[in-house]
Amino acid sequence: MALPGSVREEVTVAIQRLDGEDGSIRAVTPVGGGCINHGVRVDTVTGRTYFLKWNAAAPSQMFAAEEDGLHALRAAAEAIDETVRPRVPLPLARSADATSTTGGAWLLTEWLPPGPDSGEADKGLGRGLALLHGIGATTPRPLPDTADGIFGWERDNWIGSLPQGNAPTDSWPDFWRDRRILPQLQLARGNGFFRGGLMDRLVDAIPKALETTEEASLLHGDLWSGNSYVTDDGRAALVDPAVYRGDSQVDLAMTELFGGFGASFYRAYDDERPITEEYRSHRRALYQLYYLLVHVNLFGASYEAGCRGAADTVLAAVG
């Protein structure tokens, strides 16, 4: 898809403000990955390179939330040794808070060039992600004094093109039920899915399934293989976050849902931050259920059986 003229004009002005030199765009090259937004590499006439994503239908608040998430992940990663620190692109500029009437909303970040995989990237990302999760609930910045709990985030954001509520609470089971499963389940039921009682039993089982969670980690929030790649220095980059504070194993569950991460990733993670038996028995399925429900709501019935299978796994483990 061609870069809309209004977006090109706005981005050119933004680049000129950033660099103090001609921001004219010389080339725009599509970058593969997500299916919600358009992503391109932008090369300027002065030899600078950036990454740009835009969406003609999205509110600019969606990219404001993503910008916030990138800053949070970068700040957290700064506390990790540079040799295993995941790379996170620096947000540089975005569209104004009012959605453009022509081109849409956009976000400009630094360009982290992709590189060859030496076979060590998965291992490094596994350890780096575990260390990132270990930073805990109070960094990179504390929740505001008005927050009601440690699980959540100070602003809502998006998962794909769907709103993701993050109002904080002290109860992780309540958060997972009320901010994750129920909103997506209600949306799916409004579209004719899940008419039986299976999902009602699943919702009732959430407090028991998650009752031992105490620590809140900063999560990427949408960690499938398309949101991580190997960069030119051999380290993995994390992109497209949907951040909040929660059980660190949510990110693990998403990495396993659609594949793309090697065995060395999980071994390195487990060595640094042991994966619990509860995760293997039922938490993985319960956390994957959220993302499967999102996919039902975005893409339709082909994901319904996966949702039912995940619910069956949880109920078989916890009753």
| Residues labelled as active-site residues | 222
Distance CA 197, CA 179 (A): 20
Distance CA 231, CA 92 (A): 19
| Strand boundaries in the chain, DSSP class E | 25-30, 38-44, 49-55, 91-94, 105-110, 157-159, 162-164, 217-219, 228-230, 236-238, 244-246
Integer distance in angstroms from the first to the last C-alpha of the chain? Answer: 49
Give the residue carrying structure tokens 């090697």. 262
In contact, 95 and 105? CB cutoff 8 Å: yes
Among 105, 157, 141, 132, residue whose Cα is nearest residue 228:
132
Give the residue carrying structure tokens 């030199």. 21
